[in-house]
Chain A
Amino acid sequence: MSITAKIRANQPPARADVVPLRHWGRGVFAVVVAITVVVIVNSLATNPNIEWSIVGDYLFDHNILRGLRKTLEMTVLGTIFATALAVVIAVMRLSPSKIISGTAAAYAFFFRGIPLIVLLILIGNLGLFFKNFTVAIPFTDITFWSRPVRDVMTPFRASVLGLSLAGSGYMSEIVRGGLLAVGRGQHEAAKAIGLTSGRTLRYIVLPQALRVIVPPLGNELIAMLKASAIVSVIAGGDLLTVALGISGRNFRTIEMLIVATIWYLLVIVVLSIGQYFVERKVAER
Chain B
Amino acid sequence: MTKEPMTDDAMTDPSTADPSTTDSAATPMVTLRGVCKHFGHHQVLYDVDLTVPRGETLCIIGPSGSGKSTMLRCINHLEDISAGQVCVDGNLIGYRLRSDGRLHELHHRRAAEQRLGIGMVFQHFNLFPHMTALENVTLGPIKAKGVAKSEIEPYARQLLERVGLGDKVTAYPSQLSGGQQQRVAIARAMAMRPPLILFDEPTSALDPELVGEVLDVMKDLARTGGITLIVVTHEMGFAREVADRVIFMDAGRIVEEGTPAEVLGDPQHARTRSFLSAVLH
State the A residues within 8 Å of B (CB).
185-186, 188-197, 199, 203-204, 207-208, 285
Contact = CB atoms under 8 A, between A and B. Distances in A.
Interface stretch (B43-51, B120-128, B162-170): B120-128
A207 B140 CA distance: 16
Interface string B110-151: 001101101110101011111000000001100111000000
19 contacts: A185-B122, A186-B126, A186-B128, A188-B126, A189-B128, A192-B78, A192-B189, A193-B115, A193-B116, A193-B119, A193-B140, A193-B144, A194-B115, A194-B116, A194-B140, A194-B144, A196-B112, A203-B139, A285-B130
Contacts of A203: 139, 143
Contact of A194 (B78, B113, B124): B113
Contacts of A196: 108-109, 112, 144
B144 A197 contact: no
Contacts of A199: 143-144
Pick the 5 closest A-B CB pairs, nearest first. Answer: A193-B140, A189-B126, A194-B144, A192-B120, A194-B116
B238 interface: no
B183 interface: no
A194 B122 contact: no
B268 interface: no
A143 B119 CA distance: 52
Contact of B145 (A185, A186, A192, A194): A194
A56 B140 CA distance: 61
Contacts of B189: 192-193
B232 interface: no
B188 interface: yes
B143 A195 contact: yes
Given A185-B124, A186-B126, A186-B128, A192 B172 contact: no
B186 to A, nearest CB: 12
A189 B139 CA distance: 11
B76 interface: yes
Interface of B: 76, 78, 108-109, 112-113, 115-116, 118-120, 122, 124, 126-130, 139-140, 143-145, 172, 174, 185, 188-189, 192
A188 B108 CA distance: 13
Contacts, number: 67
Given A185-B122, A194-B113, A208 B192 contact: no
Contacts of B119: 192-193
Contacts of A188: 78, 122, 126
Nearest to B116: A194
Contacts of B144: 193-196, 199
Nearest to B130: A207
Nearest to A203: B143
A285 B112 contact: no
A165 B128 CA distance: 33
A204 B128 contact: yes
A208 B130 CA distance: 7
B151 to A, nearest CB: 17
Contacts of A207: 130
Given A192-B120, A208-B128, 18 more contacts: A185-B122, A188-B126, A189-B122, A189-B128, A190-B128, A191-B78, A191-B112, A191-B115, A192-B78, A192-B115, A192-B122, A192-B189, A193-B115, A193-B119, A196-B144, A197-B112, A208-B130, A285-B129
B119 to A, nearest CB: 7
B41 to A, nearest CB: 20
Contacts of B126: 185-186, 188-189
Point out which of A192, A196, A203 has the most chain B C-beta atoms below 10 A from its C-beta.
A192
B129 A208 contact: yes
Contacts of B109: 196
Nearest to A189: B126
A197 B188 CA distance: 19
A210 to B, nearest CB: 9
Contacts of B116: 193-194
Nearest to B111: A191
